[in-house]
C-alpha cells in the first residue's frame, strides 16, 4: 500500500488567482484586509517554520513541552488505534510527537492548504510511522464541507494545535467548534491555544529581532506579485504587529511607507502613507473562556493542561455521543 498518496482535495483551495474577487474586494475596502491563509504558500510555510524556532516566539516551544510532559495522560485519553485528523497541519513535528506517544495509532489525516508542503510533511510522518496509514487532504479547514469524514467515529481525535484557531474571529471560531462537534460526534478534540498575556511578550513574539516575521508578512506581497500579477514594491511596505488589548488579539499589518498606487490583477489600488493592509489576526484566549466557548458548542472538557508560566493551553475535549 502506498503510505502517503498525493493529497486529495481541491488543488488550489488557497491559490490567489482562484480567489481574485475576494482578494481585490479586500484591497479596495475602506480598511484593507486579506485572509491570513494567503500567507502560507510554500515559502510562507517555510518562513512560519522558522518563526517557530525563534527565541521570542514562545507558543511552539511551550506547546511542544506541554505535549511531551503530558504525553502519557494524552495517550490514555485518546486510547488505542486512533484516527488522528490534524487541522492546519503545517510541520510534521507535533504530529510525530503525538503519534509517537499513542498506542498503535491507525490513521493520520493532515489537512492543510499548502499543497507541496503538505505532501512533504505527510511523507515524513509516513516514513517515521510505517504502520500508520497517512492520508493528506488539501483543504481549507474553515470549510466544514471540505473536511474529510472520519472512518471510525469513537477513535477519531481532531488535533488542532498551534493556536491556529486564533486566526478566526471569536464568532467564526465558535461556529467552527459547533460544526466540528457535530461532524466528530463520538470523537474528541485536542486543541492548543495561546493565552492572553502582557503586551510586551506578545509584541516581541510578533516583531522578532531577526525580522523573520517581517519576511513572512512581506512574502504575502511577493506572492501577490507572482500569482496575481501585482507590482508591489516590497521596500515601500513595512511589517508591523500590534497587540489590540480590547480585542485581545495581535494584528499583523503591512504598512505603506509613502503615498503610492499599486496595480493588482489590473486594478489600481491607492495607498496613503501610513495606510496598511491587515494580513492576520491572532486571537488570544483565557483558558476558561475558551472552555466555555467549546462547551457552548457541544464539547465537554476532560482536561486542560497549562504550562507553569501560563502562556499556552492544551485542552482535551469530547464531542457529543453518537445519537
Which is nearer to ligand AVJ, 56 or 154 (by Cβ)? 56
Beta carbon of residue 43, minimum distance to ligand AVJ (angstroms, whole number): 14
Which is nearer to ligand AVJ, 105 or 162 (by Cβ)? 162
**Which region, judged by CB under 6 A, interacts with ligand AVJ, from 71-79, 161-169, 171-179, 218-226?**
161-169
Measured in degrees and rounded to the nearest 5, phi and psi for residue 161 equal: -90, -175
Cell numbers describing residue 112: 492543510
**Which region, judged by CB under 6 A, interacts with ligand AVJ, from 103-111, 113-121, 159-167, 296-304?**
159-167
Nearest to 184 by CA among 139, 144, 133, 136: 144
CA distance 232 to 113: 24
Q: What is the separation of C-alpha 1 from the centre of its chain, rounded to a whole number of angstroms? A: 30
Nearest residue by C-beta to ligand AVJ? Answer: 282
User: What angle is formed at CA 77 by the lines to CA 177 and CA 143, rounded to 5 degrees?
Assistant: 25
Which is nearer to ligand AVJ, 91 or 256 (by Cβ)? 91
The mark string for 8-47 relative to ligand AVJ (x by CB under 6 A, - otherwise) is ----------------------------------------
Nearest to 204 by CA among 115, 311, 125: 311
Interface with ligand AVJ, residue 282, by CB under 6 A: yes
Which is nearer to ligand AVJ, 88 or 150 (by Cβ)? 88
Which is nearer to ligand AVJ, 36 or 105 (by Cβ)? 36
Which is nearer to ligand AVJ, 51 or 125 (by Cβ)? 51
Q: Where are the alpha helices (DSSP H) in 6-145?
A: 20-28, 42-51, 58-69, 71-78, 93-101, 115-128
CA distance 51 to 66: 19
Q: What stretch of H or E contains 138? A: strand 137-138
Cell 466528530 maps to which residue? 184
Q: What stretch of H or E contains 87? A: strand 83-87
Interface with ligand AVJ, residue 110, by CB under 6 A: no
Q: Which of 33, 45, 114, 164 binds ligand AVJ (CB under 6 A)?
A: 164
Interface with ligand AVJ, residue 142, by CB under 6 A: no
What is the footprint of ligand AVJ within residues 205-234 (CB under 6 A)?
206, 213
Cβ distance 15 to 152 under 8 Å?
no
**Which region, judged by CB under 6 A, interacts with ligand AVJ, from 79-87, 108-116, 158-166, 309-317?**
158-166
Q: Which of 114, 121, 163, 183 binds ligand AVJ (CB under 6 A)?
A: 163
Which is nearer to ligand AVJ, 136 or 166 (by Cβ)? 166
Nearest to 82 by CA among 8, 3, 182, 190: 190
Which is nearer to ligand AVJ, 51 or 264 (by Cβ)? 51
Q: Where are the alpha helices (DSSP H) in 113-211?
A: 115-128, 170-183, 199-206
What residues make contact with ligand AVJ under the rule CB under 6 A? 51, 59, 162-164, 166-167, 206, 213, 280, 282
Amino acid at each position: 500500500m502506498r503510505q502517503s498518496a498525493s493529497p486529495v482535495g481541491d488543488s488550489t483551495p488557497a491559490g490567489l488567482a482562484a480567489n481574485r474577487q475576494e482578494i481585490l474586494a479586500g484591497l479596495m475596502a475602506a480598511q484593507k484586509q486579506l485572509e491570513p491563509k494567503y500567507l502560507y504558500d510554500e515559502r510562507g510555510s517555510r518562513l512560519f517554520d522558522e518563526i517557530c524556532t525563534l527565541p521570542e516566539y514562545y507558543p511552539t516551544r511551550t506547546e511542544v513541552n506541554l505535549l511531551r510532559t503530558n504525553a502519557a495522560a494524552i495517550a490514555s485519553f485518546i486510547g488505542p488505534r486512533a484516527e488522528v485528523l490534524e487541522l492546519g497541519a503545517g510541520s510534521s513535528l507535533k504530529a510525530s510527537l503525538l503519534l509517537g506517544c499513542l498506542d498503535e495509532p491507525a490513521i493520520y489525516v493532515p489537512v492543510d492548504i499548502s499543497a507541496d508542503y503538505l505532501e512533504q510533511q505527510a511523507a515524513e510522518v509516513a516514513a517515521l510511522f510505517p504502520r500508520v496509514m497517512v492520508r493528506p487532504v488539501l483543504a481549507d479547514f474553515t470549510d466544514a464541507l471540505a473536511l474529510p469524514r472520519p472512518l471510525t467515529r469513537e477513535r477519531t481525535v481532531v488535533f488542532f494545535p498551534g493556536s491556529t484557531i486564533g486566526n478566526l474571529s471569536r464568532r467564526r471560531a465558535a461556529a467552527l467548534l459547533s460544526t466540528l462537534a457535530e461532524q466528530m460526534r463520538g470523537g474528541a478534540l485536542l486543541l492548543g491555544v495561546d493565552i492572553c498575556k502582557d503586551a510586551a511578550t506578545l509584541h516581541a513574539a510578533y516583531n522578532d529581532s531577526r525580522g523573520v516575521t517581517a519576511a513572512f508578512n512581506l512574502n504575502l506581497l511577493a506572492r501577490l506579485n507572482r500569482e496575481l500579477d501585482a507590482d508591489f514594491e516590497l521596500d515601500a511596505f513595512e511589517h508591523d504587529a500590534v497587540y489590540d488589548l480590547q480585542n485581545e488579539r495581535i494584528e499583523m499589518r503591512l504598512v505603506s511607507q509613502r503615498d503610492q498606487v499599486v496595480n493588482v490583477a489590473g486594478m489600481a489600488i491607492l495607498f496613503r502613507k501610513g495606510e496598511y493592509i491587515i494580513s492576520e489576526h491572532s486571537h488570544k484566549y483565557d483558558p476558561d473562556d475558551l472552555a466555555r466557548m467549546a462547551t457552548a458548542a457541544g464539547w465537554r472538557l476532560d482536561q486542560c493542561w497549562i504550562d507553569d508560566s501560563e502562556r499556552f493551553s492544551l485542552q482535551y475535549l469530547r464531542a457529543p455521543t453518537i445519537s
